[in-house]
Structure 1
Amino acid sequence: MNGVLRGLTWTTCLVYLDDIVVFTRGDVRKHLVQLATVLERLSVAGLTLKLRKCVFAARSMEYLGHELSDEGVRPVERLITAVTEFPRPCNPVEVKRFVHLAGYYRKFIEAFGSVMAPMTRLLKKDCEWQWTEEQEFAFERVKAALTTKPLLVYPNFGRPFRLVTDASQIGLGACLMQDQGRDWQPIAFASKVNNDAEANYPITEVECLAVVWSVKLFRPYLYGRMFEIVTDHAALKWLMTRPNLAGRLHRWSLTLQEYDFQILYRPGTTNVVADALSRAPAAVLAAVGRERIRWPDERRVWDGEDEAKTENHELPTT
């Protein structure tokens, strides 16, 4: 299908296997022209559509488990219900099922990796089964995060990006942000739990790891564009200008040299959002009351990173 609609994907339509969305940033007339172009391509390829499976001129629709609208992307209600009504796991198999189910929407959930760490720890080999308050907190927090129906805006490649990062021995956190005329808004949350080796890094190295990891993760949105990196670790500004680094710091410095960015220092007390992304669940909960940045909703990045990397255009708003 991607071959049939080559040249139209990510500018006129989205394609996943046999699911196609034609989107338009403009009036109905323009939408009809774009729809006709897509239908003509399908006709030339000898492909047909079932009318009962088609929806036309919709302001919002369900696509791959997500609700798309001109505002952004939300998880669909029925899948939210599946997560929120999931019974308390009684064994590792049920934990794994919940982790996989909730993980489909992990980019909607702030600090997903760190919050879920107590539960995923139960999946390790030879780990004794013990459901404590720590696991219960993680279980209920993930459910609560989805009940708010978090909304994710689409990135605008005509505007600058800001990457907020933070790290701890527990994990790494990042948030891709953008000012789209309504203050800085999050486009995507990302977090990961550190492995045993990373957990032993000195604080400067683990903070640098957060930058390298998040820049690689959001490469399709950052590569070839000037952007800001906001960190609460002042040494990173000095680190990027030091000529004689050794070991992994030197390797990471070389990795970052292909990007065009400016590092901004923000004390941890004013950088709570990213700080919460990397901390233990209890600290995440405590941070909610200290949040300084106005966050309209939790938001996620649009999929299709390979396409976005090579084309300088805005992603759809249906």
Structure 2
Amino acid sequence: MWRLLECTRVEQREIAGGSSDDEYLFVGLRAPPASSSPPMRIMIKLENGKERYRALLDSGCSHNIISTTVMQALQTQGPQLETSAVAFELAKGSTQSKGAMEVRFRIPQLKRNSFIIHTFEVLPTLRDDMTIGRDLMTPLGLVIDFKNGRVQWDGSELVLQTTAEKNDQPSVSDSELTQDEDEEYFAGDMVAVTPMDLLPKHLEEALQHCYLKLLEEYADLYNERLGRIRLPNYILPLRADFVPTQSRPYSVPRSQEEAARREIQRLVELDVLEQIYGLEPSAPAFFLVKQDGSLRLLVDFRQLNKYLHRSPYYVPKIRETLLRLDKAKCMSTLDANMGHFARYLAQESRPATAFCSPFGKYQFKRLPMGISTAPDRLRQFDVTCHILREQVDYLGFTLTADGIQPQTKKIEAIQQIADPRNKRELRPFLGMIAYYREMAPNKSAMAARLNRLTSKNIPFTWTPEDAAAFQEIKAALARNVWLAFPDFNFHVFADASGQQIGGAIMQGKRIIACFSRSMTDAQRKYSTMEWELLSVVEILKEYRTMLLGFPVVVHTDPKNLLFPRANSLRVKRWKILLEEYRLQVAYVPGRQNVGADAFSRLRYNFVQQVAEDELFAVDEEEVAIDGVIMKKHQLQDET
């Protein structure tokens, strides 16, 4: 190994023989001292069928080498081990090859459609899965370009990214490696995922081939490098009276200092931060420990946010987004990697983002998280991605071709929530329940008691009855309730009691949505007919975007709702609203309208599910209400 100390260019000197070509004069070459930087290791990924391996590119090794573990795995596929007399010199002495094997593989990050077949020597002490030496690199024309940090092969190239790794086992080479630690470069690891990672296995072979070509064409769109939105640099919309404030840096625990320093340096290298040395006012910063143990930089921009003009961008309703997925067989979800950083800040806006840390002052070069206007800008560009999956997790729900249900890990987390000790702990729980309200029939009735405790006029006193209601709500969400996607011919079952209204939207015997809410004090004074009509109106209003324009059959138990008389302005207004829809009202005797009646009336305990054919909509579907209990209460209904 040699190092170039000096290179002098000689401009167009006349050389004997008449040549006037440029010459370069190299002087001062000598071997590096023993204290030089550790040897470099170039790693690359190989594929053999569905298996992936990690290989070292070693131009100092004369032969290709394979580890015993990989050899044994490949032997099950057919290749046989042959005897070999090749010997290798290692850092800790020489060793003999255990045999030779012919290996078939490809380098997907360079040439996916080109297969390579070559002989590999078997070595049990090999650190990596394989080593590719000169006997393969030379005929392939594989070039390692250290100047530009590239691995090149027949017009294709990969970027080198360095990582640090402990050398636990000796590396194989014709020259000795005596370092305890080496510097490792991964070819192509700037790409977070390969096209094969994104290729769905359930697609037909012809579709896989077409989709693979598309992924390879746009491979630069899903790498780990920070992208950039092609828009002018963002100018913070500061008010004219903005006055920056000076803060002292927050302390960082000694145990986190080194990790915090590395995180700031990483953001500097990603061109997110730049260090400043002036006396500009700055906000304090701190670090949050993530689930994987790494740190996230957070800046306290509360003072800055007070002086920013907001221009909120609309956020679509989650329910409407999910219902548009009807008849979908494959689904894809895309996420912007550190999306806020995709847009650069204008030069004049950067000083406002300055922050102080124990390691110095910095300012953002890109739009930071924590700025109140950042979500407004990011929301304009809908962009972790999952492509053509049969099942995806999205916005807290699990989506499949069959329907929607709450995401399992979210429901498991809710089940672990302990009883709240005060109003502050109770409110977030009720917010989570409201998010999944369509998955918990009769949610409003179950939550009514707990909602009462959030009132300012009622002191927080947790009673056994409150604890029972709390557990009842969690049990309702724990049921495996699936909501089907709409097919645009709907049956609405509506009912009302003296306290709440409720109902369900169905197609055949598949539940599309469940609805329930408590009545206001004024609504409790309505007549029975108005209660029933109110339940229909509220369901139609809640799901207007799904129901409007399609045939809807409303099933209700009071016959007078078939011919409502407009005795009040309220009913007249409701009739005008109903005329928007393509409605047909069908009478259902109260004893048969068990589903909607339960959503509006019952507080129930969960028992073993009992199927009864005469109970419409609950004979085959697993729902969160037991049919026997619903029927029992329905029979007790005087009306």
Q: Which amino acid aligns with 2:528?
A: I
Q: Which amino acid aligns with 1:195?
A: T
Asked if 1:273 is matched to 2:604, the reply is no
Considering Cα pairs closer than 8 Å and 6+ residues apart, tell me whether 1 or 2 has the greater RCO: 1
Match of 2:525 among 191, 200, 204: 200
Instruction: Quote the residue 1:14 is aligned against.
Output: none
* 8 Å CA contact 1:110, 1:189 repeated in 2: yes
Paired with 1:91 and 1:50, the residues of 2 have a C-alpha distance of 37
* 8 Å CA contact 1:228, 1:261 repeated in 2: yes
Instruction: Quote the residue 2:501 is aligned against.
Output: 172
Asked if 1:186 is matched to 2:511, the reply is yes
Paired with 2:465 and 2:528, the residues of 1 have a C-alpha distance of 25
Change (3 A) 1:255 1:294: closer
Asked if 1:137 is matched to 2:502, the reply is no
Q: Offset of 1:280 from its aligned partner?
A: 4.7
Which blocks of at least 5 consecutive residues in structure 2 are unaligned? Answer: 1-199, 222-228, 232-333, 338-383, 625-639
Secondary structure of the equivalent of 1:138? helix
Instruction: Quote the residue 2:436 is aligned against.
Output: 105
Q: Offset of 1:46 from its aligned partner?
A: 5.9
Instruction: Quote the residue 1:4 is aligned against.
Output: none
Match of 2:568 among 231, 246, 255: 246
Change (3 A) 1:192 1:233: same
Instruction: Quote the residue 2:484 is aligned against.
Output: 153
Instruction: Quote the residue 2:578 is aligned against.
Output: 256
Asked if 1:229 is matched to 2:554, the reply is yes
* 8 Å CA contact 1:229, 1:261 repeated in 2: yes
**Over aligned residue pairs, what C-alpha RMSD do you find?**
3.4
Q: Which amino acid aligns with 2:493?
A: V
Secondary structure of the equivalent of 2:389? coil
Q: Which amino acid aligns with 2:594?
A: V
Paired with 2:418 and 2:496, the residues of 1 have a C-alpha distance of 32
Q: TM-score, normalised by structure 2?
A: 0.37
Change (3 A) 1:97 1:28: farther
Paired with 1:174 and 1:50, the residues of 2 have a C-alpha distance of 38
* 8 Å CA contact 1:114, 1:193 repeated in 2: yes
Which blocks of at least 5 consecutive residues in structure 1 are unaligned? Answer: 1-22, 300-318
Change (3 A) 1:237 1:134: farther
Paired with 1:155 and 1:211, the residues of 2 have a C-alpha distance of 19
More strand by percentage: 2
Match of 2:406 among 57, 61, 75: 75
Secondary structure of the equivalent of 1:156? coil
Instruction: Quote the residue 1:292 is aligned against.
Output: 615
* 8 Å CA contact 1:170, 1:280 repeated in 2: no
Instruction: Quote the residue 2:491 is aligned against.
Output: 162
* 8 Å CA contact 1:109, 1:298 repeated in 2: no
Q: Offset of 1:186 from its aligned partner?
A: 0.8
Change (3 A) 1:277 1:285: farther
* 8 Å CA contact 1:152, 1:297 repeated in 2: no
Paired with 2:570 and 2:214, the residues of 1 have a C-alpha distance of 53
Q: Offset of 1:29 from its aligned partner?
A: 6.0
Paired with 1:81 and 1:68, the residues of 2 have a C-alpha distance of 17
Paired with 1:61 and 1:148, the residues of 2 have a C-alpha distance of 20
Q: Offset of 1:294 from its aligned partner?
A: 3.7
Q: Which amino acid aligns with 2:616?
A: I
Secondary structure of the equivalent of 2:494? strand
Secondary structure of the equivalent of 2:507? strand
* 8 Å CA contact 1:272, 1:292 repeated in 2: yes
Instruction: Quote the residue 1:127 is aligned against.
Output: 458
The C-alpha deviation readout for 1:134-185, integer Å capped at 9, x for no partner, is: 322321121112222321111113xx20001011121110211012xxxx21
Paired with 1:279 and 1:173, the residues of 2 have a C-alpha distance of 8
Paired with 2:486 and 2:495, the residues of 1 have a C-alpha distance of 22
Q: Offset of 1:71 from its aligned partner?
A: 1.9
Larger Rg: 2
Paired with 1:96 and 1:29, the residues of 2 have a C-alpha distance of 52
* 8 Å CA contact 2:453, 2:459 repeated in 1: yes
* 8 Å CA contact 1:152, 1:298 repeated in 2: no
Secondary structure of the equivalent of 1:110? coil
Percent of residue pairs bearing the same amino acid type: 30
Change (3 A) 1:92 1:49: closer
Asked if 1:65 is matched to 2:65, the reply is no
Superposed structure 1 runs of 4+ greater than 3 Å apart: 26-33, 45-51, 288-291
Q: Offset of 1:131 from its aligned partner?
A: 2.7
